[in-house]
Amino acid sequence: MMRGLDTTVRKIRRTVFEEVARLGFKGNPETLNDDMEAIPYTIVNEDTTKYRESVYRARAVVRERLRLAMGLSLRPENKPVHLTAGVEASNISDKYYEPPLMQVIPSACERCEEKGYEVSNMCKGCLAHPCMEVCPRGAISMVKGRSYIDPEKCIKCGKCKSACPYDAIAKKERPCAKACGVGAIETDSQGRAQINIDKCVSCGMCMVSCPFGAISDKSQIFQLARALTEGDKIIAEIAPAFVGQFGDNITPRNLKAALKEMGFSEVYEVALGADIGAIAEAHHYVNKVATGELPFLLTSCCPSWAMLAKKYFPDMVDQVSQELTPMVATARTIKQEHPDARVVFIGPCAAKKLEAMRRTVRSDVDFVITFEELQAMFDAKDIDLEDYEAESSFHNATGAGRGYAVAGGVADAIEQCINEYYPGVEVKIEHAEGLAECKKMLSLAKVGKKNGCLIEGMGCPGGCSAGAGTNIPIDKAQKKVKAFVAASSKRLPAKELEEIELK
C-alpha cells in the first residue's frame, strides 16, 4: 500500500506540478513553448537523481507528465507530435477537463506480469510437497529439488500458495489491476497496461498504486495559476478532508490566509454543501424509502460510486439520489452570493474533475484541483503556510457535514438528521468502500437484499480522506478529520436548509 507515503513517484509528480504552476504564474505566452521545452531538462539532468536506466527515458516520461499536467492528452506513439502541440488551446484560464482523465504513460510502464503464481527461493523442496497434492491440474512438479509451476497448465487458483508451509509461492499481480475494482486495467499489444475507458470510473486508485508512476491524470493548475495572475475574482471551496493535508500544525486559519495570499478572494467549506445534502437526503429517505415508494436510496456525493451505479447497474439510476453533491451545492451557494466569481473546488478526489465537466455542473464549478496539486502551487509561489494566519476561520459548517470526509460519514450524517428531525422513522444504513465492495453492495441491492436501506458508497477504500489527491497517510487523515468533526461548534445542520433553492 503506497497511498500516503512520500515516495519517489510522488516527489516527481510534485516537481512536475510545481514547474507547471510556475509557468502559469509567470503568465508569459510569448515564451511558453520554450519554457515547456526546458522543463524536462530542468527536472532530469546529470546533477539530479537517476530514476530510470537512462536520462533519455526519464525525460520522455517527464514530457508526457508535463502534457497531462498542462491539461493536454498524451501524444500518440505512431506519429510525430511536438511536445507543445495543442498548447495554444490550453494557454487560457478557463479550460475544462476532457476525458479520458486517467491515462497510462507508455514510456513509463514496466510491463508488469498479469496475475500468476511463481515459486520463490524460499522453497525447501519438502517431502510432503502439499503444493503438488492440492493442484487440481497437475501443474506442479519437482525440478532440481524445488517445486516448479508449469504456466501452461496453471489455472491461477492459488491453492498451492495456501498450502505451502513456507509461504514460498508468490502471487504475481499488476498493482494497478489489483487496485482497480472494476477490471478496467487491460493489456496492450506490447504487454503494457492500458485503461478501458468504457469500464473506468476515474477513482484514481490505479494511479496511486503504480510503483513506477506510469499512470497519471490531467490537471488544471496551469490554467488556475493563469486566472489567479490575471486578477480575476476567484473563490475557493475546500473539501472537509483538508485537515492535516498541509502539515500537522496547519489550521484552517493558516490555510485560508495562504489561499488569499495566492490570490483567492474568499474561501468556503464544502462541508456547507454537505450540510445541505444531509438534510435533503434525510428528507428524501423519509418521504420516498421509508414509505416504500423507492426500494432503497444511493448517496450521490462520490462521483466514482455514482458513475459505477450508472455504468454497471443502469436500471438502478432512479435510486441514485438526485440531490446536489456537496461540491455543487456549495458552488451554487457561492455563485448566488458572488455571481461574478469563478469557483475552484479543492479536494482529495480525482473523479471530481470529471464531475465538474458535466454540462449541468460546468456553470457552477470552474476549476478542480487536488490537495496534492494545491501544495505544488504553494511551493511554486514559495508560500509557507505557517507564515500566514487569517483573522477568522472558515464559515461554520457542522460536524455532520465535515464528517463526509471519512467512509461511513455521509450515511452517519443523514442518519443523525433523520433521528433528530423525523423521530420515530426507522432508518437502515449500509455503506461500502472501494469499488469492488461497492459492486457487491449494488449487486445485493439489485436482487432485493437491501430494500429499505440508505446505501453510502465510496470509491476509495477509506473514503474521501483516502482519495487519490491526498498528501498524508490514510489513518492519520481519518484521525485528523474525526478530531475536526468533534471540535465543531454545531453538531447538525438546521432543518431549514432543506428549503434552500439551489436547483
pLDDT confidence of residue 329: 93
Distance of CA 119 to the CA centre of its chain: 35
pLDDT confidence of residue 47: 81
Q: Which residues, in sequence order, are CB contacts of 376 under 8 Å at separation 6+?
A: 14, 17, 18, 20, 21, 221
What is the per-residue pLDDT across 128-160, written as a single tens digit (0 to 9) for each? 999 999 999 999 999 999 999 999 999 999 999
166 and 72 within one domain: no
Report yes or no: 101 and 354 within 8 Å, Cβ to Cβ.
yes
Q: Is residue 3 part of a domain?
A: no
Report yes or no: 40 and 107 within 8 Å, Cβ to Cβ.
no
364 and 290 within one domain: yes
**What's the domain range around 215?**
8-111+179-222
Taking CA atoms, 214 is separated from 10, 50, 204, 498, in Å, by: 12, 17, 12, 44
Write out the E strands in 93-223.
102-104, 116-119, 140-143, 146-149, 169-172, 185-187, 193-195, 215-217
Task: Point out the domain boundary residue: 150, 172, 194.
Answer: 172
pLDDT confidence of residue 362: 74
Q: Is residue 228 part of a domain?
A: no
120 and 107 within one domain: no
Of 357, 24, 89, 34, nearest in space to 223 by CA: 24
50 and 130 within one domain: no
Q: Is residue 501 part of a domain?
A: no
278 and 344 within one domain: yes
Q: Is residue 497 part of a domain?
A: no
Grid coordinates belonging to 253: 486559519
Q: Is residue 65 part of a domain?
A: yes
155 and 58 within one domain: no
Beta-sheet pairing, 146-149 with 140-143: antiparallel
Q: Which residues, in sequence order, are CB contacts of 178 under 8 Å at separation 6+?
A: 209
Sign, CA torsion 24/26/29/32: negative
245 and 212 within one domain: no
Report yes or no: 335 and 314 within 8 Å, Cβ to Cβ.
no
Beta-sheet pairing, 266-269 with 297-298: unpaired
160 and 192 within one domain: no
124 and 186 within one domain: no
107 and 47 within one domain: yes
What is the per-residue pLDDT across 166-192, written as a single tens digit (0 to 9) for each? 999 999 999 999 999 999 999 999 999
What is the per-residue pLDDT across 339-390, written as a single tens digit (0 to 9) for each? 999 999 999 999 999 898 887 777 899 999 999 999 999 999 999 999 999 8
The segments of the chain whose pLDDT lies below 70 read 1, 4, 92-94, 497-503
Task: Point out the domain boundary residue: 135, 155, 172.
Answer: 172
Please tell me whether residue 1 adopts helix, strand or coil conformation.
coil
> Looking at the 3D structure of the chain, how many domains does it have?
3
pLDDT confidence of residue 358: 82
| Phi, then psi, of 30 in degrees rounded to 5 | -65, -35
Q: 303: cis peptide before it, omega within 30°? A: no
168 and 201 within one domain: no
CATH number of the domain within which 26 lies: 3.30.70.20
